[in-house]
Amino acid sequence: MANDIGWAVNELRADQRVARRGWNGKGMWLELQTPGANSKMTQPYVYMKTADNQLIPWLCSQADLLAVDWEIAT
């Protein structure tokens, strides 16, 4: 069964980290952040751990939107 972006979003909402098998960088994943009392953000957002261990805001690309290789990040 192919895991599409809808599957990935549902997993993020269930507090799972997700990644794509097609990403070139090792160890990359996405996680959903829900703002807390001390956060400057007011809405949930998705961030990425990059291959060089940085945490950055994530924006879905066309390739990610249409991909069917999403999986739980390990």
* Residue-level pLDDT at 25: 84
Number of domains in the chain: 1
A 10 A CB-CB count for 56 gives 9
Q: Residue 47 belongs to what domain range?
A: 5-72
Nearest partner of 12 among 44, 51, 35, judged by Cα: 44
Locate all alpha helices (DSSP H) within the chain, ordered by sequence: 5-13, 62-66
Distance of CA 7 to the CA centre of its chain: 11
Q: How far apart are the C-alpha atoms of 67 and 40, rounded to whole Å?
A: 32
* Residue-level pLDDT at 24: 87
Instruction: For the full predicted model, state whether its pTM sits above 0.75.
Output: yes
Report DSSP state, residue 2. -
1 — pLDDT class (breaks 50, 70, 90): low
Q: pLDDT tens-digit profile of 22-37?
A: 898 889 999 999 999 9
Q: Does 14 have pLDDT greater than 90? A: yes
